[in-house]
Every structure is written in C-alpha cells, then in structure tokens.
Amino acid sequence: MLQLQVIRQDPQWVKERLTIKNFKELSLVDAIIVSDDQRKKLQVDFDTTQAKINAASKEIGQLMSKGQKQEAEEKKKEVASLKEKLEPIKEQLAASETTLDEQLVLLPNLPSEKVPAGKTPADNFVVREGGTKPQLPTDSVPHWDLAKKYDLINFDLGNKITGSGFPVYKNKGAKLQRALIQYFLDYNIAAGYTEYLPPLMVNETTAFGTGQLPDKEGQMYYATEDKYYLIPTAEVPVTNIYRDEIVKESDLPIKMTAYTPCFRREAGSYGKDVRGLNRVHQFDKVEIVQLVHPEKSYDVLEEMVIHVEQLLQSLNLPYRILKLCGGDMSFASALTYDFEVYSAAQEKWLEVSSVSNFETFQTNRMKIRFKDGNGKSQLVHSLNGSSLALPRIVACLLENNQTAEGIILPGVLKTYFGSDRIN
C-alpha cells in the first residue's frame, strides 16, 4: 500500500508513475486526497470536542472540591451535550478512515525509475543471457514424453485423484524433486538465509499484507468455512513473520528462505503452454525473502539476482534475465527481474523465477519498521525471489539433458540424487 504522505507530496508525479504501469484509474489519486482532507477535518472536530469534554470534566472535579455543587451540575450537563455531539463525529471519522483505506488499497505500487515503459511481455528488456543451448538429437521429445518413458511423473493419475494441473511424481521423479529442494535450500542457507517451514494456509490479514488481497483473489484457492487461503508462494507467510514488529536496525538485512508447495488456480490459462509441467496448479518452490534498510534495497536486489543466476549456472541450464516493463509487472512490485530457462525440446523460454523489490508497499501494510539512529520509526523494504520454482526447472533438466544413455543430471545434484543420470 502506498504511503499517504507520498501521494500528498506530489500527486502529479504519482499519476505519472502509475501510467508506467498502465494504471487507468488516475482519478483515484484525487479522490484519495479529497477523502484524506475530509478525514483530517473530522479528526480536528473530534479532537477539539474531546478536548472540551476533558477540560469540562476536570472542571467538574474542581467545582465539587470547592462545594460548588450547582455549578458542577451545570458542567455535567455541558459534558453530556458535548458527548452527544461527539458520537456522530466519531462515526463519521471511522467511516472516512474506512473509505480512505478502501481507496488506498486499489492503487498499485509505483514502479521504480529503472522500470522500462511498455505494455506487454514483448516490451520486457533482456538484461543478459547465459549458458549454452543444447543441440538435441532429431528424435528428442518434450518432458511429458520423457516423464512417461522413464516413469517419473503420472499426469493422468493426478487428474484422476484431483484434476488437471496436479501431477503425481513417482520413483526417480519424486527423488529428483527432493534432491532439487534440498539443494536449493542448502544453497540459500550457505548464503546466509535462515530456513523456515511455514503454514501452507494463511488468513485474510496475511494475504492482504503481501498484496495478494484485494488483487489476486481469483488466483488463490480458498477454504470458505475457515476463510483461509492456500498459499500461492512462500513469500506470503514468510514475509508476514515480522508483521507489526519493530526490528533492530542492526539486525538488517533479515534473510529468510523456505520450501513449500504452492497452489495457484491459474484462471484463464489455456492452450499449448499449459501442457505437462509448463503450468500447473500445485508445484514445489523454494523462496528467498529479505527485509532490508531502505537505502540498500536496490543493491540487495542486484545481489539476489546474482544469487539466482549463479544457482541456474550450477545446473548448467541456458537462461536469460528480463527486466519487466511497467505493463507486465505485478500489482505490488516496484521493480522485477524474471529468469527464464530455455526448453530445447519445446524450443521456448520458460519462466522459473521472479526477483522483486517491493520497497515499502508490503511493509506499509504489515507495519514492519525499524528505528533509525535518531530514534525515528521507518518502514523497511521487502524483497523476494524464487530460488527456484521446480516444475519448469525439472522440465528443462529432462529435455535439455536427454541422451541415448538416459538423462544426464548436472554434477551438483549427484550427492543429493545419488546418481548422475536417470535411465
């Protein structure tokens, strides 16, 4: 949620930044200022009336102590009248605060000055590419055929048990999942991240804190009776660990990592790109989250990008890094880098990670603060990234490494998987 002071300080600049995200409801900025003016006026009326009540109440005690009972009774009537006047002001003030909050949560985060203009993924900027695209034999096949050939994943069984988009991993397919998860976690822990294993369901307050609500209700699975949401990413519960807390400046940066299954409805996703592991409703992912000093967040963002890049390099996967344009960014992000790996059998790039800086957008909702050297409370900046999401990593590992002798796995996985190949 944008800080109100930022909106009031320069409304025109806020509108200009919102246009970079192709946000159309710019009149909402003006409406927020009008609502805030009304709230301020009501707050003054409330405070003034309350001050009169307090002063009169104090005077009643003084009159009673002097034996001036009649004058005290008159003051009591005055206090009663003021309290009667205060009640509707209090109700109007509460209503105005609700209106203001409802308007504020409709505004997306402002994009960083580093965000390129653009409306669609075609306008994203390629920062760099790495790795080498493999030259596969003419009889190479996509990962869904390889999964069937080596008995790694049963898509039909998942469809039987639950529905489309819920694959069942088995045999060496299940073992590869565990190997990748453990490798990713160990890699993150070695870089100073503290591991967490959070709940897989969150309440509305938690989902609101990271910006999933009120923006992504349609993409999340919802347990109606208990009003819990299945998490779309570990970012949601992990970032909320520090909600409503004042952390020590000396403790920054706070670095957290977590493995969780993730659940996404992926409403509106149709066509050939949903085949196999390309787009599923339940998948495994290892996440990294940082809470950092505002002055250091963009340096930390670049460090996190390098962290994920080196992880992909260790898997010998061809990749590219994209800086997302304004029109392709998420509601809450100020700047996002996407990582894509090249699927040689499908001859396409598949997204496997997003690394984002949210600045104060999430922490303003969650009230995660620190006290600076002057004792003043400031909001920390929050960042997160996938390190990594497994389905498309698995797809590319299978496809890019297929040989007549089986699927040759990267060397870093041998200790975790117990072998250097699947056959």
Say what the pTM is. 0.92
Does one domain contain both 90 and 125?
A: no
Q: 65: which 2 tokens?
A: 């102590």
The pLDDT value given to residue 216: 82
Q: How would you classify residue 325: left for phi > 0, otherwise alpha for psi between -120 and 50, otherwise beta? A: beta
The pLDDT value given to residue 267: 64
The pLDDT value given to residue 417: 98
pLDDT tens-digit map of 377-396: 999 999 999 999 999 999 99
**Residue where one domain finishes, among candidates 104, 133, 168:** 104
Q: What is the mean pLDDT of residues 13-34?
A: 97
Adjacent-strand bridge partners of 190: none
Does position 124 have pLDDT exceeding 60, yes or no? yes
Q: What is the mean pLDDT of residues 344-354?
A: 96
The pLDDT value given to residue 384: 98
Q: What is the mean pLDDT of residues 125-153?
A: 96
Residue 98 CB: number of other CB atoms within 10 A?
12
Does one domain contain both 156 and 19?
A: no
Does one domain contain both 76 and 128?
A: no
Q: What is the mean pLDDT of residues 323-333?
A: 97
The pLDDT value given to residue 270: 55
Residue type, 361: F
Does one domain contain both 134 and 40?
A: no
Q: 272: which 2 tokens?
A: 């050939």
The count of domains in the chain is: 2
Q: What is the mean pLDDT of residues 164-183?
A: 97
Residue 119 CB: number of other CB atoms within 10 A?
12
Does one domain contain both 155 and 17?
A: no
Is 39 within the bounds of a domain?
yes
Q: Are strands 335-343 and 228-230 parallel, antiparallel or unpaired?
A: unpaired
**Residue where one domain finishes, among candidates 56, 75, 104:** 104
Is 111 within the bounds of a domain?
no
> Residue 298: enclosing H or E segment and its boundaries?
helix 297-314
**Distance (Å, whole) CA 368 – CA 378:** 8
The pLDDT value given to residue 156: 96
Does one domain contain both 285 and 341?
A: yes
**Contact criterion met (CB below 8 Å) for 108 and 331:** yes
Q: What is the mean pLDDT of residues 233-250?
A: 97
Is 388 within the bounds of a domain?
yes
**Distance (Å, whole) CA 257 – CA 307:** 13
Structural domain boundaries, residue 303: 121-422
Does one domain contain both 293 and 324?
A: yes
**Distance (Å, whole) CA 31 – CA 186:** 49
Confidence of residue 22 (pLDDT cuts 50, 70, 90): very high
Does position 161 have pLDDT exceeding 70, yes or no? yes
The pLDDT value given to residue 271: 54
Does one domain contain both 60 and 182?
A: no
Confidence of residue 373 (pLDDT cuts 50, 70, 90): confident
**Residue where one domain finishes, among candidates 78, 104, 130:** 104
The pLDDT value given to residue 157: 97
Confidence of residue 175 (pLDDT cuts 50, 70, 90): very high
Does position 111 have pLDDT exceeding 90, yes or no? yes
Is 113 within the bounds of a domain?
no
Does position 272 have pLDDT exceeding 60, yes or no? no
Is 187 within the bounds of a domain?
yes
CATH number assigned to the domain comprising residue 350: 3.30.930.10
Alpha-helical (H) ranges within 165-288 are: 171-190, 204-209, 235-239
The pLDDT value given to residue 268: 55
pLDDT tens-digit map of 71-95: 888 889 999 999 999 999 999 999 9
> Residue 79: enclosing H or E segment and its boundaries?
helix 69-104
Does one domain contain both 146 and 242?
A: yes
Does one domain contain both 376 and 263?
A: yes
CATH number assigned to the domain comprising residue 28: 1.10.287.40
Does one domain contain both 96 and 210?
A: no
Is 115 within the bounds of a domain?
no
Confidence of residue 101 (pLDDT cuts 50, 70, 90): very high
pLDDT tens-digit map of 28-67: 999 999 999 999 999 999 999 999 999 999 999 898 888 8
The distance of Cα 98 from the centroid of its chain, to the nearest Å, equals: 24
> Residue 383: enclosing H or E segment and its boundaries?
strand 381-389
Confidence of residue 217 (pLDDT cuts 50, 70, 90): confident
The pLDDT value given to residue 369: 98
**Contact criterion met (CB below 8 Å) for 4 and 367:** no
The pLDDT value given to residue 194: 98
Q: What is the mean pLDDT of the chain?
A: 95
**Contact criterion met (CB below 8 Å) for 314 and 280:** no
How much of the chain exceeds pLDDT 90, in percent? Answer: 91
**Contact criterion met (CB below 8 Å) for 355 and 383:** yes
Does one domain contain both 52 and 198?
A: no
The pLDDT value given to residue 69: 86
